[in-house]
Structure 1
Amino acid sequence: MTDILDLAREQVLDGGVALDQAQTLQVLQLGDDRLDELLALAHEVRMKWNGPDVEVEGIISLKTGGCPEDCHFCSQSGLFTSPVRSAWLDIPNLVEAAKQTAKSGATEFCIVAAVRGPDARLLAQVAAGIEAIRSEVDIQIACSLGMLTQEQVDQLAAMGVHRYNHNLETARSHFPNVVTTHTWEERRSTLEMVRAAGMEVCSGGILGMGESLEQRAEFAANLAELNPHEVPLNFLNPRPGTPFGDLEVLPATEALRAVAAFRLALPRTMLRFAGGSEITLGDLGAKKGILGGINAVIVGNYLTTLGRPVETDLDLLVELQMPIKALNATL
């Protein structure tokens, strides 16, 4: 029987053909003794099919907390006893956050709101924010505002939103164990409308939410079928007061194995380190991840949890000789 890494080298690295679900599962089942070999192969795949550039992004929460959905990992749900409370960010602070993000070398600034989907007030605030940012900052603007109608998709496209994030979160089969107030299919529908409107599709999820390795491989296949421009990989950072608050943090070796497996299942996709990577991997793990398939990072803090200092991530990219993707290359 052909070794899975030998097969992946020929199929993915040489041929540019992604691993399928069954093959991805074989990678996820590899022992820790094969981890360095796996990460090295994933890095080769990333370099061959994506190049050395790393895209840097900052995110800001326009509306925090008070969300009516019951995503079991999220402290922004108004249904749980977690300490996050509803709050809005004003336009001057939004513009300042965009300026600080641009100063870090980031090419993407993502406006996020904790909602099921945007109402007229929120869309008006987003439109005003985008106009204000554009007048002062040279940066691409992305949004993550929940599930959309076709009319809302068209409005965001008209505003010039470059990329829309809406995570599938987990495998289709595991989703009902994570969220009960809406369906995986509803999320997928939003992403299909976003793509049809000409915006880039950003969709990933969170690893370590009680899914099996089989479901992790299924999730990679779900994402490959969607063919998003970007996949943010989060690792569960258990939040007090949420249904997943008592889950264990994913072991670092398991997280790194997943990063490499997702790279082999999505060889041409932008794979971004997102929330939870600090608590799951630490500094050494972050370095290994960037040398094991990752080619994009979020700098600074996340929505309700702290990230690493911006300078730490930027210094790491310099150390690894990974150039930050220039804005003019994305226009």
Structure 2
Amino acid sequence: MTDIRNNWTHEEVKEIYNLPLLDLVNRASNIHRKYHDSSKMNMNTLISVRTGACSQDCKYCAQSARYNTHVKPEKLSLEQVIEDAKVAKANGVKRVCLSSAGRDGNRDDRFNEMAEMITEVKKLGLEVCCTMGMINKEKAKKLADLGITAVNHNLDTSERHYPSITTTRTYAERLETLANLQEAGISYCSGGILGMGEDDEDRIEMLRTLANQDQHPYNVPLNSLVPVEGTPFYGKDVIDIFEMVRAVATARILMPKTVVAFAAGRTHYSREGQALCFLAGANSIFFGDKLLTVGNVEVNEDQALLETLGMQSTKYHELTTLEN
């Protein structure tokens, strides 16, 4: 049976997900080494060009205007974005992601603002990715014409559990955006957040939905919920590291060629726990002291861990994982 499939059943994914953990990790690790250099780790960060003041009610997100959190609305000028991109390039970064909070990337003013930033950053000789909410067919084609490298749009969780996460948009709208990006020939990044009250069936179904897209995501970010004070999910217990490992390993088996990112929430876990996720197939991490609005691992800590494990980092400015 070929490793690359787009027709997984729920029962097939469930059988993989529920394997004894060490057997699951071993299977995932072998597939990872078949398709990737296990000594390499993609190091990612981002530029948040528009932060906060989002009209949506996603219960995990500190950027929602509906919640009283530490996040203050902020918008970067084109000049600031270009300057940040120049600094990133000087530090060896090859790809910049521009993140804009909000639901509707189809609004002409928001889209044109992002299009100008994409164009100017590309002039620096950098690849550009973005995340900007919902995208229709027309705007997806325009992004493709601009030469966008990839677009992020997360599913967050399963369709069944989604109404417990947000009520201001539907799962069908999420899937429509992914379909529009694929139709336009754009590589896309899509994943989810663990620890939002979902059960194993929800995690299984989210991963199955991603793996059954016509084209697998080029990147699947898996996040551990960071409960932010002021959001409805503040106070939720952090999920156990072995739950993260199980999700990472399952994603690797279902989508062998995909980059699997262990994204937000890594500060919850020990170096040993993170290393187990790497063994299970995670080959992308986010560095910097902040990931959008939450604390993250310092780059020197990551470099020390990778050196201990005998791994090398590959720098990118990459896709956001916590919103849109």
* TM range, smaller chain: 0.7 to 0.9
What does residue 209 of structure 2 align with? 222
Out of 126-135 and 315-324, give the one that drifted further.
315-324
Identity %: 32
| 1:196 lines up with 2:187 in the alignment | no
Residue identity opposite 1:147 in structure 2: M
Q: After superposition, what is the alpha-carbon deviation per residue over 1:39-89, rounded to whole angstroms, capped at 9, x for unaligned?
A: 233222111123334333221211111111111111111111222121101
Residues 73 and 178 in structure 1, CA contact (< 8 A), matched pair in contact too: yes
**Residues 72-221 of structure 1 correspond to what in structure 2 (within 5 A)?**
72-103=59-90, 105-118=92-105, 119-136=107-124, 138-221=125-208
Q: Number of paired residues?
A: 309
Q: Within 5 A, what are the aligned runs for 1:274-289?
A: 274-279=263-268, 281-289=269-277
Distance apart, 1:325 and its partner CA: 4.8
Q: Does 1:42 align with 2:28?
A: yes
- For 2:315 and 2:296, locate their aligned partners in 1 and report how far apart those are by CA, in whole Å: 23
Structure 1 residues 231 and 177, CA, compared in 2 at 3 Å: closer, same or farther? Answer: same
Gaps of 5+ in 2: 317-324
- CA distance in 1: counterparts of 2:286 and 2:87, whole angstroms: 13
Bigger Cα displacement from structure 2, 224-233 vs 92-101? 92-101
Q: Offset at 1:312?
A: 2.6
* Larger RCO (CA under 8 A, 6+ residues apart): 2
CA distance in 1, matches of 2:50, 2:61: 14
Report SS of the residue matched to 2:123: helix
Q: Is the 8 A contact 1:29 1:213 kept in 2?
A: no
Q: Could you tell me which residue of structure 2 aligns to residue 245 of structure 1?
A: 234
Q: Which residue among 22, 37, 55 is the counterpart of 1:68?
A: 55
Secondary structure of 1:54's partner?
strand
Distance 1:107 1:35, change over 3 A: farther
Q: Deviations over 1:269-292 (max 9, x none)?
A: 11112111222x232222221121
The question of whether the paired residues in 1 share the 8 Å contact of 2:53 and 2:64 is answered with yes
CA RMSD of aligned residues (A): 2.2
Quote the Cα distance in structure 2 between the aligned partners of 1:310 and 1:102: 16
Residues 58 and 36 of structure 1: CA distance in aligned 2, closer, same or farther (over 3 Å): same
Counterparts of 1:248-327 in structure 2, within 5 Å, are 248-279=237-268, 281-300=269-288, 301-325=290-314
In 2, distance between residues paired with 1:315 and 1:99? Answer: 26
- What letter corresponds to residue 293 of structure 2 in structure 1? T
| Bigger Cα displacement from structure 2, 204-213 vs 285-294 | 285-294
Whole-Å separation in 2 of the counterparts to 1:109 and 1:298: 13
What is residue 320 of structure 2 aligned with on the other side?
none
Q: 1:317 is paired with a residue of what secondary structure?
A: helix
Structure 1 pair 305–315 and aligned structure 2 pair: CA distance change class (3 A)? same
Q: Quote how far apart the aligned CAs of 1:298 are.
A: 2.0
Alpha carbons 1:66, 1:86 under 8 Å: kept: yes
TM-score by length of 1: 0.85
**Given residue 120 of structure 2, which amino acid in structure 1 is its aligned partner?**
A
d(CA) in 2 for partners of 1:236 and 1:99?
Answer: 32
SS of 1:286's equivalent? helix
Note the C-alpha offset of 1:166: 0.4
Instruction: Specify the alignment match of 1:5 in structure 2.
Output: none
- Going from structure 1 to structure 2, the CA distance change for 1:104 and 1:314 (only over 3 Å counts) comes to farther
Gaps of 5+ in 1: 1-10
Q: Is it true that 1:54 corresponds to 2:34 in the alignment? A: no
Q: 1:166 and 1:55 mapped to 2: Cα distance?
A: 19
Q: What is the alpha-carbon distance in structure 2 between the residues aligned to residue 285 and residue 102 of structure 1?
A: 31
Q: Which has the higher helix share?
A: 1
Counterpart Cα distance in 2 of 1:159 and 1:89: 21
In structure 2, how many angstroms separate the alpha carbons of the residues matched to 1:315 and 1:199? 35
Tell me: CA distance 1:212–1:229, structure 2 relative to 1, closer, same or farther (3 Å): same
Q: Distance in 1 between matches of 2:92 and 2:305?
A: 14
Check conservation: 1:58, 1:108, Cα contact below 8 A: no
SS of aligned partner of 1:79: coil
Q: Hey, what's the Cα distance between the residues in 1 that align with 2:86 and 2:291?
A: 17
